[in-house]
Chain A
Amino acid sequence: MNAVGAVWEGLTRGWGVDHPAVLALLLLALLPLMATAFRRRGIASAGLVPDDPLSRLVGGGLRVAGVVAIVALVLGLAGLHRREQSVEREGTGAHLVLLLDRSSSMDNSFADAAPTGDQESKSAAAKRLLAQFVARRPHDRIAVAAFSTSPMPVLPLTDHHEVVDAAIDAIDRPGLAFTDVGRGLALAFSYFAEDTDEASRAVLLVSDGAALIDRRVQDMLRDAAARTPVHLYWLFLRSRGAPGIYDVPTSGNDTAQANPERHLHLFLQSLGVPYRAFEATSPQAVAQAITEIDRQETRPIRYVERIPRRDLVRPAFLVAAIAVALLMAAKLAERQLRPAGRGGTKAEGAPATDLRRAA
């Protein structure tokens, strides 16, 4: 029973039909074995006929043609096709988690005010440039996560970039209140927990600010970073007047509460994973940073290329047409058996080959 299942599995893995119920009609293919398309005439004695292997062969061939015609027609009607196949190829790319800040400050412009006129909000700039970034990296498997007051998984790792674009399109909607970057990062790391592929893994954090990371969450992140080696990129969309991540404040004021961005940077550096921060103060700087990340993440990756399904309905009908045409040719060459002396002399006229085909 298992062997039958395995054979069936092997047969149906690459091939399929749209309407399996139609395949019941395959039973009709038995009919040509029981009947013929030719007139049947009785003769007085079978001994009259000399044994002719070629005739027998052609006769059998015509039966098979009938079977083939019906089988091909039924398969065509059932919608025979070669399934969508996936082929693994080598390319350059990465498994990438986009971790996007959806806090309401992202809705402001780089000047930290409501965008006016030709100004672009930070989220709109991030959306535009991330969409370009994703479009340039066709082989990446991309997941999307968002964080604000709470972390939100948006999309699991997928190589369908259409839905990734749809998720990126959603980031310039009004955001929520807070920026819980720590738990957001923990969520981003968790995407790689079940990802056993050996591809390069990267987390791209896009945010315009940071917040204190709870000490327990810090420990959790250190654990996660030790378990799953990832490349970490932080694209910091810095508003005008906001403290930068490289500015060392005057002594005595260098606390995580006062400078969360700088301390997040220090924390990420201490994680022990390859990490780069990009501080962008304008859409142009964001574009430059994204180009740089694009350049960095070019390790080989095994990606799956899809070969679309191929319909085999017409080829099936073509086979049926050839089989029926053979039967037709034989039928056209069919001769009636007539009593001797009525229809002229026997066995002259039609060439010998035709006679055999007609059999």
Chain B
Amino acid sequence: MSKAITGKLAAGEGSSRYGNQRRDWRFWLLLAALLGIVAALFAPRIVQTGNVRDALLVVDVTGSMNVRDALIQNAPATRLVAAKRGARDILAGLPCGSRLGLAIFTERRSFLLFEPAEVCANFAAIAGSIDDLDWRMAWEGDSYVARGVHSGLAMAAGLKADLIFMTDGHEAPPLPGGALPDFEGKPGEVAGLLIGIGGADPSPIPKFDQDGRETGFYAEEDVPQENRMGPPPEDAASRAGWNPRNAPWGGEEATGTEHLSSLREEHLRALAAQTGLGFVALGDGRGLLAAVEADTRPRPVEMRVDTAAIPAALALFCLALLFGLGATTSRRPERLPTR
């Protein structure tokens, strides 16, 4: 109450002469605030370059992606579900203006579903499309991952996008002699990365009947354990039952662990080195997005940035200072008028 009265008095009974006043600090703070706000009202929008990404996302939908050795929040999930989850994280993490296309991989090539489209406006459609990915979309049982990556690179080059290839690296049938097929493109011409999915320990691969019902797991004799296309390996002569004409790979059935699947990290790293791509194993979302940003090329776009916030923040600071000092300094009047 008394404050209001003092204020009233101070103003009402003031000096009669207009220009003869000393301006106090409150006046200057108020003036600064007003100037700041006016500056904010007329602040220009400056053009700044931001970075967006254009990427082609290829997801492996072959049989080995049905292995349940991936983890989502510490619960086991199939590799394909984990891949879809990762793909969604990438979609959500890309800045607006980025473009994402989707393709699937089976057999020996990548098959384009749609070309890169802007991620923010089309978010629901792209997310729905990722959700719909299914192993039933695969058109062949083979899984020549290295060739699939090569064809993905060629496709990405045509789309002027970077490649994000999600796979477990399980080659079926195995590569002859374990050697990578030749890469015809130029390493590093298309940027991007391979995202490895799956656990380190060999796990059985689920088997499905023609109606899509799970019927068990692949056994050793169900899958080719050795690639017998092309010339036999160098050491074939030392195998039991070897005959150069009748049994060039040796006389016995190949044995092995090709019916079990794990993340073939070494193979994927070698493939990444051959093609100039990066490699990351799918972990939690944050590391994934950082890897995607590190390995894909930024495309500079002009963004209009509003500069109004700076003078407005200054004005807010001045006002806060004005009223804050007023509230915290002594509540006593400054000086009693004396004669």
| Chain A residues in the interface with B (C-beta under 8 A) | 25, 28, 31-32, 34-44, 46, 48-49, 52, 55-56, 59, 66, 69-70, 73-74, 76-77, 102, 144, 146, 148-156, 158, 160, 162-167, 169-170, 173, 176-178, 313-314, 317-318, 320-321, 324-325, 327-328, 331, 333-339, 341-350, 355, 358-359
Contact = CB atoms under 8 A, between A and B. Distances in A.
Interface in B132-158: 132, 134, 136-140, 155
7 contacts: A28-B319, A44-B336, A313-B306, A324-B30, A334-B21, A346-B13, A358-B11
Given A35-B325, A35-B326, A149-B140, 12 more contacts: A37-B322, A39-B26, A40-B333, A41-B333, A46-B1, A66-B319, A69-B33, A77-B316, A154-B114, A163-B118, A163-B125, A321-B38
B137 A334 contact: no
Contacts, number: 265
Contacts of B4: 56, 59
A166 B116 CA distance: 7
A42 B15 contact: no
B121 A76 contact: no
Contacts of B255: none
B326 to A, nearest CB: 3
B234 interface: no
A102 B103 CA distance: 13
A337 B337 contact: yes
B315 to A, nearest CB: 6
B266 interface: no
A37 B323 contact: yes
Nearest to B320: A28
Contacts of A46: 1-2, 5
Contacts of A317: 37, 40-41, 308, 312
B338 interface: yes
Contacts of A55: 8, 12
Contacts of B10: 38-41, 334-337
A37 B21 CA distance: 16
Interface in B1-23: 1-18, 20-22
Given A37-B322, A40-B6, A155 B114 contact: yes
Q: Max chain A CB contacts within 10 Å: which of B17, B26, B30, B313?
A: B30
A345 B16 contact: yes
Contacts of B128: 155-156, 158
Given A66-B323, A150-B139, A344 B34 contact: no
Given A40-B10, A149-B139, A359-B12, A76 B308 contact: yes
B257 interface: no
B170 to A, nearest CB: 20
A343 B12 contact: no
Nearest to A48: B9
A152 B104 contact: yes
Contacts of B6: 40-43
A198 to B, nearest CB: 21
B324 interface: yes
Contacts of A336: 10, 14-15, 21-22
Nearest to A35: B326
A34 B179 CA distance: 78
Given A156-B132, A317-B40, A317-B308, A335 B14 contact: yes
B75 interface: no
A160 B122 contact: yes
B11 A35 contact: no
A328 B31 contact: yes
A70 B113 contact: no
B96 interface: no
Nearest to B8: A359
A102 B323 CA distance: 70
Contacts of A36: 3, 7, 323, 326
B124 A158 contact: yes
Interface in B88-128: 101, 104, 111-118, 121-122, 124-126, 128
A341 B337 CA distance: 12
Given A34-B327, A38-B26, A150 B309 contact: no
Interface in B292-339: 306, 308-309, 312-313, 315-316, 319-320, 322-327, 332-339
Contacts of B312: 73, 76-77, 317, 320
Q: Max chain A CB contacts within 10 Å: which of B18, B155, B320?
A: B320
Nearest to A343: B15
Given A162-B122, A170-B115, A324-B37, A74 B316 contact: yes
A338 B11 CA distance: 10
A163 to B, nearest CB: 4
B6 to A, nearest CB: 5
B252 interface: no
A114 B285 CA distance: 45
Contact of B30 (A39, A331, A338, A341): A331
A176 B139 CA distance: 8
A328 B324 contact: no
A167 B333 CA distance: 74
